Structure 1
Amino acid sequence: MNTDDEIIDDKAHVRDKLDFSDAEWITSTDDLAEPGVEIAFVDGYVGMRNGADPEGPVLVFTPEEWDAFVAGAKDGEFDEP
């Protein structure tokens, strides 16, 4: 049974199968001194990583999650107070 407080990882079945090693990463900035986040599209999913640590972890989003994230960013949801 599922409650509102329970988090379901609907990407668990693909997380370790997605191969981002040959992905074309898109950077959020052209400033090499201040690398931002990078995103890549692989097998219908969106990966996001820290451009300063490209060998680090990759966050994986479904297209719907990515759309919600982008909409929230555009709406100022993540702006500092």
Structure 2
Amino acid sequence: MAGLFRRRPGGDKTTRTPPPELVAEARRHAGGWVYEIDATMVDDPDGEVPPTAIVGGWEVSRKGTLTGVYMANPNYAPDAAGRRRDE
């Protein structure tokens, strides 16, 4: 996802609570990021995800836990039909 998000000094800490499945996924992506995808905008869950379907991402520590840094995707745009998962 290079270029999709720009990290600001100190990150962008928010009160957004990650879905439980992302907390579990973080363990498998130590030292990276996990992303929340708007499933209503993706036809194939194992296929390509358009950048506009990524709600945002959480930074993962080297230990596989979320650091609390969340970066909203400025390119996230629910499709023209207005489909969007309830938050």
Normalized against structure 2, the TM-score is what?
0.34
Normalized against structure 1, the TM-score is what?
0.36
User: With CA pairs under 8 Å and 6+ residues apart, which has the higher RCO, 1 or 2?
Assistant: 2
- Answer with 1 or 2: which has the greater Rg: 1
Higher normalized helix content (fraction of residues): 1
